[in-house]
Copies of this chain bind each other. A is one copy, B any other.
Amino acid sequence: MQSTPILIILAGGASSRIWPLREKSLLRFGTEPLLFVQLRRYQALGFHEIVVVANPENHAEIASLVSQIPQLTVRVVVQTQAKGMGDALLQAAPALPSRAGVPVYVTQVHDIVDEQLHIDMLHAWQRDPSASYIAGFEREDYFPGGYLIVSPSGRLTGMIEKPGAANKPSNLVNIVAHIHADAARLMDAIRAEYVAGDQTDDHYERAMDKLMKEKVFRVVPYHGQWSALKYPWQVLDVMNYYLNKIQGQHVAESAFVAKTATLVGDVYIGEQAKVFPGAAVVGPAYIGAHTIVGNNALVRNSMVLNHCNVGFTTEVARSYVADHCDMHACRVLDSVFAPNVNFSAGCTTANLRIDHGNVPSKIKGQKVDTGRGKLGAIIGQGAFLAVDVMTMPGVKIGEKAQVGPGTHVHQDILDGQRVYVKQEHIVIEPTEAEQSS
């Protein structure tokens, strides 16, 4: 067995941008949480020592999770405040051997990439463990990330954040898949940045930039899939990544598929799930355990996790629906539902702007271009939408919010808010002739 660096998985940090969802590392895209899926993959790749940096909110659950993977040494440390990636790595330092020359592989739980990236990184490092390695995502068009500056000899000499399309130093964007030849040296460089004062929170990137001047850093180019989970609508990208892994039709033995139901393409139907008469599941699609796809309902290009009801004539298309959601005679399009959402009869997530432009969404009060031509709603845990609610493209609805019948939701609704619409009615009394008829 080849040796591997110690793996550091960053799974903490603030998650306000993922609102109204929670804890990216615990989201499930199948039967197991994302972190669990990632850990198992790293295990298969030969990693055996892992440090997970959690935050105070997800620490307990992550600790319980990692204990479920045998034959893997995982230490969970906590970053108590969201003070940047550099600070997160500093929390991991005490969990590492204190000697010099300990290699570490830094990754983030919410970067979803092909296995090939990790294989290529490891191979590069195994060929020359004295250097450090940075994954470089090759893309032609401009992307507002960190660009890698590469010397003619192929050595990495620096990084520049969001240089603008006109000033790209290369076609290589930094993905957080970094092998550092010497963890102690890395930590020292990061500490120096924090001491230097708190301008912006890219201490880690600045520390690396400086290290690159002294030590050999090389790029490992990558041109596979890359889905980063920063904004809640990106759950759909990650979902698609995992949906595309479904091959053929897997129907649990305990599941029921009615004779007049239709399964098309690559489809996973979980334990005790039921697909009722006239319903269709069109792949790639994932139906979780105990979930019911009701009469004449349609689920396509979607994940509906466990214990959900996709009621009569409901359509779920290109959407992610977490556990215990109830949907009835409604349309869930290009949307993300946290657990326990009630989406009543007649509800629709409008998903297309009249001007056919990209759908924007507000993040911390700022309009952000989601980059998506179609986007429905993002709905937090336990929200209740009464009958005939319409949500406009890109709106977000907070946890336990209540939206009254017939409401048009044009703006985000905060956690726990109740929004109602009151109609003015015209009442005409019957004439005497009508009354006696």
Contacts and interface: CB of A to CB of B under 8 A. Distances in A.
A331 B296 CA distance: 14
Contacts of A415: 430, 435
A350 B354 contact: no
Nearest to A430: B416
B430 A408 contact: no
Nearest to A328: B331
Contacts of A278: 260, 262, 278, 280, 296
A407 interface: yes
Interface string A401-422: 0101111100000011111111
Interface stretch (A302-310, A358-366, A384-392): A384-392
A33 interface: no
Interface in A251-298: 258, 260, 262, 264, 276-278, 280, 282, 295-296, 298
B345 A348 contact: yes
A329 B345 contact: no
Contact of A298 (B264, B312, B390, B416): B312
Nearest to A263: B277
A425 B430 contact: no
Nearest to A344: B350
A407 B388 contact: no
A318 interface: no
A434 interface: yes
Given A295-B280, A425-B420, A426-B420, A388 B390 contact: yes
Interface residues of A, number: 58
B419 A421 contact: no
Contacts of A427: 417-419
A329 B430 CA distance: 29
Contact of A313 (B296, B333, B406, B437): B296
B435 A416 contact: yes
Contacts of A407: 423, 425
A384 B352 CA distance: 11
A403 to B, nearest CB: 9
A163 interface: no
Given A295-B280, A390-B388, A346 B331 contact: yes
A405 B408 contact: yes
Contacts of A420: 425-426, 428
A418 B427 CA distance: 6
B418 A428 contact: yes
Given A262-B277, A262-B278, A354-B386, 14 more contacts: A260-B278, A264-B277, A278-B296, A280-B295, A280-B296, A313-B315, A345-B348, A348-B387, A348-B388, A350-B405, A406-B406, A417-B429, A420-B425, A420-B428
26 contacts: A262-B278, A277-B280, A278-B278, A278-B280, A295-B298, A296-B313, A315-B329, A331-B345, A333-B345, A344-B350, A346-B390, A406-B408, A407-B425, A408-B423, A415-B430, A416-B429, A416-B435, A417-B427, A417-B428, A418-B430, A419-B425, A420-B425, A420-B426, A421-B423, A421-B426, A422-B424
- The 9 A-B pairs at the shortest CB distance, nearest first, are namely A416-B430, A262-B277, A418-B428, A420-B426, A350-B387, A345-B348, A348-B387, A421-B423, A331-B345
